[in-house]
A and B are shown apart, each in its own frame.
Chain A
Amino acid sequence: MISPLIFEPERPGSKDIAWCPGCGNFGIRNILRSAFAELNLRPQDVVIISGIGQAAKMPHYINVNGYHTLHGRSIPIATAVKAANPSLTVIAEGGDGDMYAEGGNHLLHAIRRNPDITVLVHDNQIYGLTKGQASPTTMLGMKTPTQPWGVFEEPFNPIALAIALDASFVARTFMGYFKESVEIIKKAIQHKGLAIVDIFHPCVSFNKVNTYEWYREHTYWMKDHNPYDREEAFKRAIESDPLPLGVFYIHEKPTFEEQVPAYKRDKTPLWRRKSKLEEIGKILEAKRTF
């Protein structure tokens, strides 16, 4: 195994970390570094495409390729990066607002499209960067500056949704459980097809309900669960308290990149290819007659 230290960036800008002291994002960063190291990945071969939010700052604090993009847009960008160069390990990363609110539509369609990427959702059940508004996963009744009457919209259940749409890999973890989380992220990265991991992590600044203790008390690890059984997975997904952790569902199926005509005969990444002038010539020749 290589050392997780090679994922420690040496750039001047990566020293000043913008996360609040005590935030769960630090734990996720350590989990990621260990997972990459245990998978023997090289920094050059990993790409993190992130959206916007505190969670989405990850590319600056870890030594791999990164693209810090727009709120909610990491999935389409990550999809195309993988399609353009399938030899890369591609991760789309963002918060629950990023992935489930602004980027909700892209998530739905990524499940249908099934690119071989890993979607990591830092689910702190609140908007961090914009200072504590409710997110799609904020619990009923929670009061925030913008929901002073308490949230009355039904929280979004990403796990149930993903299973309902027959996603390829669906898991949930809590970053407070380091080793288990590393294992789940490794499985997600190794899984061929779209892997979604909802990662609970406390926001110490704005979410006073879902704390480290809260997640410990209100979650449990699924034992003897068969992730290949969709109905069983769905039953687990709609349990609400305690919330199950682990791999809910796996459905192996062809990926986006496997099905596009670009790679049927030729596996060369798109950027190394030449334009097909001879094919154009043939089409133009045909246009001389009919």
Chain B
Amino acid sequence: MVEFKEDVSIVLGGAAGQGIQTVEEILTRVLKLSGYNVYANKEYMSRVRGGINTTEIRVSSKKVRAFVRRIDILIPFKRGVLPWVEKRLTENTVVLGEKENVEEEYLSRVNFVEVPLNEMAKEVGSPLYLNTIAAGVVVGLFHGDFEALEEYLRKRFGSKGEEVVLKNIEAARKGYELGVKLCEEGTIGIEVKRDENVKKEILLSGTEAVALGAVAGGMNFLSFYPMSPSTGVAVFSAQHAEDFEIIVEQVEDEIAAINMALGAWFAGARGMVTTSGGGFALMSEALSLAGMAENPVVIHLAQRPGPATGLPTRTMQGDLNLVLYSGHGEFPRIVLAPGSIEEAFYLTAEAFNLADKYQVPVIILTDQYFVDTYYNLPELDLSKIKVEKYIVESDEDYKRYKLTEDGISPRSIPGYGKGVVVANGNEHDEWGDITEDEELSRLMQEKRAIKKLETIRKNAMMPELVGREDAKYVIVAWGSTYHVIREALEVLNREDVAFLHFKWVYPLPEKVEGLLEGKVIIDIEQNVTAQFAELLKKEFGLEIHHKILKYDGRPFSVEEILDALKGVLE
């Protein structure tokens, strides 16, 4: 008998097109409705059929939000899955499934529980029911809420007719009964606490959080060109475009996408583009225009490994330098990188106020790991959302680029007021007309690249401190690694290690230096050259003592961070 307590990691593996996604969806929703905390994340190949894709689902007594390497229960839908996840198998791993899907050499290493899924599916009437049976087995192992499962299947297959619904319910029941039996006869033991409150919670993904956050922040214009892993935000927005009464347009290329977003802002709307590194590369020309014309814009960049097409469906934090330094000429920008799904929602909403207020590009950096992650959370507080608009009415002598102390010129828009608005990507005078005047050229450069930047820096958000201020060691990290590091720290349980998480990556507030001075700094990033460490060095002259880096396209796991930290600390 193999027993799992408190926290079980279930991995489903199979070919693209085999329906793992369906099982994942059923399991996360039904287990959550049964009162279990759930977390899910997937990894997939850049192909539409075949290959091997896997999904990790954690089911836990406590809230879990991070990827773990270990696999407790593995369900392979084809041969090749076990070698693919080889490093993640432990001596406790239970493999549930068909014998034909498990290579010989693994039988001695894992606890194999043969489940005749195919045969059961045939009994129900078609091999198509395999997925539902597999989902039923897992729900059964947890003694999950069968009614919830039934209801879910009704919703999901309702459009296909009563016959299909009933067959699926029958398949689910067969699976469920088998799952319960496996526990009762003592093959597998599972002890995870349920929590009534969880049943009512929200299951949300990183993608959805960014899209909903954007709409909450007033986004009403989204232009994009499809590119993994950023497309999900466009898909979600398009599917709700009618409810939100917004424009979502798939355009001819990324160049058009960002230029359209600039046009939308110029006319007073709130525009966003969603893209990945390769698409952002094409946008750098218009980024400079945004800088020069002081045109607000919000860019969501979901990172994947590069250079070029790199690993299209995998994860990395390799585009920090791209967003920090792209564009010709000098101009400020704001770079944000949410660490949690909740944060992605609030921060994306806030990005629109920031863009509006400072009239600069605001870039939200996520990555494949982040957008494809989801878990249950109690709620999102919509009353916390503040949509701040800074558009002013123009008078007859309106000056779009009025020189001001803080570097911010009041922004009007065409058609609002008595004046006209002239914006310009050429160097300009206060009215927006072209100038080559020495003095004005200098003043305008200073306005944008110094005064405005300093105004932004003064108002920048501080990083979140996890742990004690007087800890000897400080971990610094940004974006999506937040929860993995937090969980590793909980396991590590040392008071002398603190963690600074940067969701506001640039420009860094001056006070950050004080938090890091005299500490042993450990930088954790998913890239080859420690780009954020470089930034800290550049901004504050800080020496980074240890770097924990990962760049194989896979996310950090809790175990990996823990091992690496132990290596550094001891």
Interface residues of A (CB under 8 A from B): 11-14, 18, 43-45, 47, 49, 52, 57, 59-60, 63-70, 73, 76-81, 83-85, 87-88, 105-106, 108-109, 113, 260-266, 269-277, 279-284, 287-290
In the assembled complex, the CB of B415 is this many whole angstroms from the nearest CB of chain A, namely 6
Considering residues A47, A79, A106, A275, which has the most beta carbons from chain B within 10 angstroms of its beta carbon?
A275
Whether A106 contacts B431 by the Cβ 8 Å rule is no
Known A-B contacts A60-B434, A262-B245, A283-B240; the reply to A289 vs B391 at CB < 8 A is no
Contact of B269 among A18, A271, A277 (CB under 8 A): A271
The one of A43, A270, A275, A281 in contact with B420, judged by C-beta atoms closer than 8 angstroms, is: A43
Shortest distance between the CB of A131 and any CB in chain B (Å) = 17
Contact status B245-A66, CB under 8 Å: no
Given contacts A85-B267, A270-B221, contact A109 B251 (CB under 8 A): yes
Report if B542 contacts A (CB, 8 A).
no
Measured CB to CB, the closest approach of chain A to B442, in angstroms, equals 17
Encoded as 1 (CB less than 8 Å from any A CB) or 0, chain B from 199 to 219 comes to 011111000100010011111
**In the complex, which residues of chain A have a beta carbon less than 8 angstroms from the beta carbon of B424?**
59, 66-68
Contact across chains for B245 and A273 when beta carbons are under 8 A apart: yes
* Complexed CA–CA distance, A281 and B384 (Å): 13
- Assuming the A-B contacts A68-B424, A68-B425, A262-B241, are A276 and B260 also in contact, with contact meaning beta carbons closer than 8 angstroms in the complex? no
- Chain B residue contacts of A47, Cβ below 8 A: 267, 414
Question: Is A266 a contact of B245 with CB atoms below 8 Å?
Answer: yes
Given the complex of chains A and B, what is the CA–CA distance between A14 and B431 in angstroms?
10
Q: Known A67-B293, A261-B241, A279-B243; judge A84-B434 contact (CB<8 A).
A: no
Q: How far is the CA of A18 from the CA of B433 in the complex (A)?
A: 12
With A44-B414, A70-B286: A270-B244 Cβ-Cβ less than 8 Å: no
Determine the distance from Cα of A262 to Cα of B220 in the docked complex, in whole angstroms. 8
A-B contacts, 11 listed (Cβ < 8 Å): A13-B431, A45-B414, A47-B414, A65-B422, A70-B425, A80-B262, A80-B271, A84-B269, A105-B253, A265-B245, A284-B212
Q: Quick check: is B423 within 8 A (CB to CB) of the other chain?
A: yes
- Determine the chain A residues whose CB is within 8 A of the CB of B29 once the complex forms: 290
CB pair A73 B434 closer than 8 Å:
no
Contact status A67-B286, CB under 8 Å: no
Known: A264-B242, A265-B245. 7 other contacts (CB 8 A): A12-B433, A13-B435, A65-B420, A84-B220, A271-B413, A279-B244, A290-B29
Kindly identify which residue among B255, B269, B431 contacts A11, using a CB–CB cutoff of 8 Å.
B431
**Inter-chain contacts of A283 with B (CB < 8 A):** 212, 240, 243
Complex CA–CA separation, A11 to B416 (angstroms): 19
How close is B75's CB to chain A, nearest CB, in angstroms? 22
Contacts of B33 in A (CB 8 A): 289
Q: How far is the CB of A69 from chain B (nearest CB, A)?
A: 5
When distances are taken between beta carbons in the complex, the residues of chain A under 8 Å from B200 are: 288
Q: What is the bound-complex CA distance between A205 and B432, given in angstroms?
A: 27
Task: Point out which of B208, B215, B269 has the most chain A C-beta atoms below 10 A from its C-beta.
Answer: B269
Is B252 part of the binding interface, using a Cβ–Cβ cutoff of 8 Å? yes
Question: Could you say which residues of chain A place their CB within 8 Å of the CB of B425?
Answer: 52, 68-70
Report, nearest first, the 5 A-B pairs whose CB atoms are least far apart: A13-B433, A271-B268, A80-B263, A77-B263, A270-B269
The dominant DSSP class at the A interface is helix
Min CB–CB distance B48 → chain A (angstroms): 26
Question: Given the complex of chains A and B, what is the CA–CA distance between A66 and B385 in angstroms?
Answer: 33
Whether A12 and B429, one on each chain, are in contact in the complex, defined by CB atoms closer than 8 angstroms, is yes
B201 closest partner in A (C-beta): A288
Q: Give A88 Cβ to nearest chain B Cβ, in Å.
A: 6
Q: Is B308 an interface residue (CB 8 A)?
A: no
Complex Cα distance, B218 from A270, in Å, reads 10
State the CA gap A278–B415 with chains docked (Å): 29
- Evaluate contact between B268 and A269: CB separation under 8 angstroms: yes
Q: With an 8 A cutoff between CB atoms, is B310 at the interface?
A: no
Which residues of chain A are within 8 angstroms of B334 by Cβ–Cβ distance?
Answer: none
Docked pose: A68 CA to B251 CA in angstroms: 22
Bound-complex Cα distance A78 to B263 (A): 6
A279 pairs with B260, CB closer than 8 A: no
**In contact, A44 and B242 (Cβ under 8 angstroms):** no
The residues of A that contact B417 with a CB separation of less than 8 Å are 44
Given the interface contacts A12-B429, A76-B256, A270-B268, does A284 sit within 8 Å of B380 by beta carbon? yes
Given A44-B415, A270-B268: A287 and B204 interface contact (C-beta under 8 Å): yes
Write out the residue numbers on chain B whose beta carbons fall within 8 Å of the beta carbon of A262. Answer: 220, 241, 245-247
- The interface residues of chain A lying within 8 Å CB-to-CB of B218 are 273-275
A76 and B259 contacting across the interface, CB-CB below 8 Å: yes
Task: Determine if A14 and B433 form an interchain contact, defined as CB atoms under 8 angstroms apart.
Answer: yes
Contact (Cβ within 8 A) A81 B266: yes
Q: Which residue of B lies closest to A57 (CB)?
A: B434
**Least CB distance, B197 to chain A, in whole angstroms:** 11
Q: A44-B418, A60-B433, A109-B252 are in contact. Are A79 and B260 (CB under 8 A)?
A: yes
Q: Are A65 and B421 in contact (CB under 8 A)?
A: yes
Point out the residues of chain A lying under 8 angstroms from B421, CB to CB: 65-66
How many angstroms between the C-alpha atoms of A261 and B249 in the bound complex? 11
A104 to B212, CA, bound (A): 35
> Across the interface, which residues of B come within 8 angstroms of A77, CB to CB?
259-260, 262-263, 266
User: Which listed residue, A76, A270, A290, touches B152 by the CB 8 Å rule?
Assistant: A290
CA of A20 to CA of B107 in the docked complex: distance in angstroms? 84
Contacts known (A85-B268, A109-B251, A290-B155); A68 close to B434, Cβ less than 8 A: yes
Bound: A64/B419 CA distance, A: 9
Return chain A residues, CB-CB under 8 Å to B335: none
B223 within 8 A of A: yes
Complex Cα distance A261/B200, Å? Answer: 32
* Residues B256 and A260 in contact, CB atoms below 8 Å apart: no
Kindly state whether residue B561 has any CB partner on chain A within 8 Å.
no
Closest beta carbon of chain A to B235's beta carbon, Å: 14
Q: Known interface pairs A73-B259, A283-B212. Does A88 touch B220 (Cβ–Cβ under 8 Å)?
A: no
Whole-angstrom distance between the alpha carbons of A276 and B242 in the complex? 11
Are B247 and A106 in contact (CB-based, < 8 A)?
no
Compute how far the CA of A265 lies from the CA of B241 in the bound complex, rounded to whole angstroms: 12
Q: Give A263 to B269 CA distance when docked, in angstroms.
A: 14
A276→B244 contact, CB < 8 A: yes
Task: Name the CB-closest residue of A to B202.
Answer: A287
Taken together as a complex, chains A and B put the C-alpha atoms of A289 and B145 apart, in Å, by 13
Closest chain-B Cβ to A272's Cβ sits at a distance in Å of 8
B379 lies within 8 A of chain A by Cβ = yes
Tell whether, in the assembled complex, residue B420 and residue A66 are in contact, meaning their CB atoms are under 8 Å apart. yes
Choose among A11, A265, A271 the residue that contacts B433 (Cβ–Cβ < 8 A).
A11
Tell me which residues across on chain A come within 8 A of B269, comparing CB atoms. Answer: 80, 83-85, 269-271
A-side contacts of B215, CB under 8 Å:
275-276, 279-280
B261 within 8 A of A: yes
B-side contacts of A13, CB under 8 Å: 428-429, 431-435
Query: A80 to B221, alpha carbons, bound, how many Å?
Result: 8
* A270 to B261 Cα, complex, angstroms: 13
Q: Which residue of B lies closest to A282 (CB)?
A: B243
**A261 in contact with B260 (CB, 8 Å):** no
Contacts of B248 in A (CB 8 A): 261
Contacts A69-B289, A288-B200 hold; do A87 and B245 have CB atoms under 8 A apart? no
Name the distance in Å between A5's Cβ and chain B's nearest Cβ.
15
**A288 adjacent to B202 (CB under 8 Å):** yes
In the complex, chain B residues whose CB is within 8 Å of the CB of A271: 267-269, 391, 413, 416
Bound form: Cα–Cα A95–B425 in Å: 17
| List of A residues within 8 angstroms of B416 by Cβ | 271
Q: Do A270 and B240 touch (CB < 8 A)?
A: no
| Chain B 241-300 residues near chain A, CB threshold 8 A | 241-249, 251-253, 255-257, 259-264, 266-271, 285-286, 289, 293
Residues of B within 8 A of A269 (CB): 267-269, 415
B392-432 near A? 1/0 per residue, CB < 8 Å? 00000000000000000000011111111111111011011
Min CB distance A29 to B, Å, is 15
